[in-house]
Amino acid sequence: MGEKPFVVLLAEDNQDDIVATQRAWKKNNIANPLYIVNDGEECLDYLHQRGKYADPASAPHPGILLLDIKMPKMDGLAVLKHVREDEGLHRLPVIILTTSKAEEDRAKGYDLHVNAYIQKPVGFNNFSEAVKAINLFWELVELPEWSNGHK
């Protein structure tokens, strides 16, 4: 993804989906480091480098956030709302990657300015191809500088 590999943060609570993402990363030789958080509150802790992520080395600024909707503690749409309202995070590209087929979820995601809404394809090969397509797209895109100076 891009000239210089940047961190991709995956917010996902389903262990099977985490393993599938890691396998797809490896299968597609994606150079970008993948960091994983398991719920919405942990995602915000990572993004704000607080709690167990207070050491910047444990939570490098991501270039993209892959965000599930259905997560414990705080759902993905609440995380997205927070990201878009936060002056230091609002430019972070966010892709919702979810099993939700609900039109309401998709509409709310776009109302909150998600960059893309992707339904997780069924089956590993289909999922791997989707991850590959996401990677290819972001290799072509010029990412914005974060308002706090990070990319």
Name the DSSP class of 101: -
- Which H or E run includes 135? helix 124-140
- Give the model's confidence band at 137: pLDDT under 50 very low, under 70 low, under 90 confident, else very high: confident
**pLDDT interval class at 121 (50, 70, 90):** confident
Whether the predicted pLDDT of 150 surpasses 60: no
In the chain, what are the domain boundaries?
7-140
How far apart CA 113 and CA 58 sit, in angstroms, is: 28
Query: Dihedral angle at the C-alpha atoms of 10, 7, 82, 66, nearest 10 degrees?
Result: -30
The pLDDT value given to residue 151: 42
State yes or no: pLDDT of 40 exceeds 70. yes
Selected residue with higher pLDDT from 109 and 3: 109
Is the pLDDT assigned to residue 65 strictly greater than 70? yes
pLDDT of residue 1: 41
Place of tokens 């709310």: 108
| pLDDT confidence of residue 80 | 97
Binning pLDDT at 50, 70 and 90, where does residue 145 land?
A: low
User: C-alpha distances in angstroms, 47 versus 1, 3, 28, 35, 56?
Assistant: 20, 23, 26, 11, 10
Question: Could you give the CA distance from residue 147 to residue 130 in angstroms, rounded to a whole number?
Answer: 29
CATH fold for domain 7-140: Rossmann fold (3.40.50)
Q: What confidence category does residue 4 fall into, taking pLDDT thresholds of 50, 70 and 90?
A: low
Whether the CB-CB separation of 106 and 117 falls below 8 Å is answered with: yes
**Rounded distance, CA 113 to CA 93, Å?**
9
Mean pLDDT of 42-46: 97
Q: What is the mean pLDDT of residues 101-126?
A: 92
The tokens for 8 are: 């991709």
Asked whether the beta carbons of 71 and 105 are under 8 A apart, the reply is no
